[in-house]
Structure 1
Amino acid sequence: MKNLDIFRDAELRFIYRHHRHILLVQCFQEKFEMVKGRIQKMRSQLLTTLLPVKSPILSRYYSRSNEIQRIAAASTCTITAEQRIDHNRPNDYLINLKIIGRSPDKIDTAQRLIKEFEEQKYSTRKIHNNDINLFTEQDIELFQNECNTCNVSCTIDQTHNSIELEGLSGDFIQIEKMIYDLCLIVARRALDDIQYSIQWIYYDISTNKPIMYDKIIQQQLENCYTKKQKGLINLKDQLGYNHIFNFDKMIEITQGKNLNSSPITINIERRDFKNPQSIQLPTHWTPMTKPWDRVLLGRRDNINEWKVNTEIQRLLQLPEMLSESWIIEIHRIQNPRLFQQYVAYKEKLAARSQDTERILYRLAQVDLIDDMCANGFNESHNDSAFSAYGHGCHYYCKAKEINRTATLLAQSHQTIPIRLQQQQTPSKSPRRYLFVCKVLVGRYTRGDPSMKTCPPGYDSLVDNILSPEVFVPSHDTQVLPEYLIAYQSDIF
């Protein structure tokens, strides 16, 4: 159309000069319709199949990985992921795989490759362990978070002691290891609970002094007692000696030194430290209607009550305590169960003259304060920035020292694992919380970050044997949280 010689008549030249834009558009439109028609014809020759993905695990995997691109290339098909809504599973992320190919054979090849991948890599597995029913809410939450990280779905059935896993086989390794590790932890925790919550003692004939049975006898006695066994019960201690018990009369029957002498009866007693009536609680505690309580002792802005409260003043005189000007308020923690377990452990250490009790301090994670007050401290409460001397909670002799460590971490722009309350302004430091605890340190030795527990014969790990300032007790029941202090330091 560039050659104007084809337009012989003036009218045609006029039309071209004044309407060439319209003519060109019409020409392009005809070409476009032609291409569009060819595309529609080609599209009608393609085959499309929707393949629903059966699980959220696979749906997330296909969306994040290059697996569908690999299968598409191998089958010379186009495969796309489209999210689908399942009203029966509204909270699950599910997708359809849309497979587009030129022939049924290519579609079948793509479906076969997808099926082979899922059969090889995707599976479900059920794990049984008798200790699963001992998992606490915190254990379950920790486990579920790990499953989410590893892209594994889990269903926990504590009634039948089972956990069903769903996901890629390669992701099961870490999760299975965590299950067995958790089962070991809760089993040990259950044994500790029996050991430090239940005591079996006998009374010495000559002194009438209560003496604890050894661990083996205590466990056997408790098992027989819970099974409500009647009559005479014959048990062996860890040295192989026989003991005969009668639960109806709560006695042990022993043979005198002279074989011809009559049997001797010894009074025995079962102490249940889970029962609040089995031990005398501190007299300064206020009456309680809940399993535990956090009682406000006073706020420093109420200066009159603050100064006359002898409990507060005694607390302020503790060695290495925070500056009084930092403190905002003080609560007393009242938990009969933790107190009774602590007393039981103290009696155990006293039996070997190692009931060394200290007042130590621990910075509190804000979002775990209620859990710590209700259940005490455990290894999951530890923080990586405060774990230099072993796996477990670290307790400090100097309250200001632990505050200084947290402050230095904040100033160096590190992420402080201890989750401090976000009440910080440009002119004020963040509000922090400090536990004041009684700790039975017992016999201790030098610790390091790799140590998961104390060596045999020791009760705690420390930073320095000659002059320890940091303690890592081996058992949760060695620690009794007594007070919770809210404060803001002058150094931030």
Structure 2
Amino acid sequence: TSGGNLSCMQIAFRPWTCDKYQPQNLKQSIDTFVSSVITYALRHNITTLAFPSIGCGQRGYDPKLIAEYMIDEAYRQLKSSVHPQLIISFVLLPGQQSIYDAFSDRLNAIKIIEDKPTSISFDKQTVKIKLIGLNKNELIECQNKIKQLARSYSLKLHLTDKIDMADWSQDIIQKYYNYCLQKRVIPTIDIQNCILDLIGPKDAVSDTEKYFFQLTAEILRNARIQIISHGFVWSVEISSGTWEQYSYKINQQIEDAHMKKLSHIEFLNEKSERCRVVFSSMEEHYGTRKRKVCRQRIDSSLPNYWDLSSVNFKRIALSNSSKEYKDVLDRFESTMKGSYLTIVKIERIQNERWYKQYAAHRDEFIQKYTSSSEKLLFHGCRSTSAYKIVQECFNRAFAGVNGVSYGQGVYFHEHAKYSHGYTDGSSERTMFLARVLIGRTCIGNSSMKVPPEGFDTTTNGGHIFVIYHDAGAYGEYLITYR
């Protein structure tokens, strides 16, 4: 029939029925309904088509299921159709927020699948080796040696849960793919399931794995730069008094909307919840849940690799696949390999007040000596002491607990194995990798409460250094191990 007073040319009536007590037939009935309407439209050269959200009213079907079945079937029909100009819309009534969210989420999921390939594989080549000889046993032995040699020089690496790939653009995917080709590594990149398989020579596979983490870090760094350029960070109150910063990507979306003076912004969070931030009330809405959000100015004086935070103190457990984690571990293992069982965790200590005090002291060193003479040194201690240190700093009030041979200050060592001797004998030991300002140093002795005039620290003349200023060191990493 004609559209009448509605803003459309025609209204097509198509029956749709589904027994509520037989939900297993829901998908099939919707598929039939959607396909019949699209077939009608194509047959009559209709270029635009609008569907209502069937089944979400008195029938009470789950809007997520209805959205999934209707959109997926429409998508399938469009993919297989030879009609290039058919545009399909879904019309929802005012006040149907939950239904709108369900349809919007499903459309976004379809868009992600459409925009990104599910996987990229390497074009494999087979090399055939023909063995000729008179003795069958010798040929078999030679064949086995070739196989053994090939296995010894090759490596297959299977990486899972690489959710960072979900943010890779097509250019980044192609860049990584080309790098693998140059290294003669066979990559299989499964974007949808966040899986990466690498097969090739051992050293080349190791290089391509490192490059993967390098690209991921580059994407995160660029996202962070975007946030810093705006100068603000957004956080949500997940429980009373406990705030959690939004991801870099969501932060940028919220800040952009705020700068454009929009009333609200909608986004999918890490739990695939479609949330809405309402700027007038500074709240995040998801269904009936409401949480406070806050916007804080970023302090550019802090290290650019720190996680953005709305609190003064934070302990960040590093991913064991990150370059930062591996750098700390390599320094620790340079003297500790074989002397411990396992690493429990490596944490980055983000104590803003302590770091700013240290940075101010470092700037004084640079003005005085033209360089900070900063060293990365180890400090072993009891677990109870470690908890106090991360909250405050290395306190000289405890000087003398483990000896004062080279001065009555806080002791650090270049080798982790030496500092290991000052950890407690409990099941889990703790050791800091700290930034320490050395400046001018001299040989110390047990009577020194401060370094001699003109000097900043004391030493044993080798690998031990003693500081006398609370801001003279910053415990950047805490290594917990067994």
TM range (shorter): 0.3 to 0.5
The TM-score, its normalising length taken from structure 2, stands at 0.36
The TM-score, its normalising length taken from structure 1, stands at 0.35
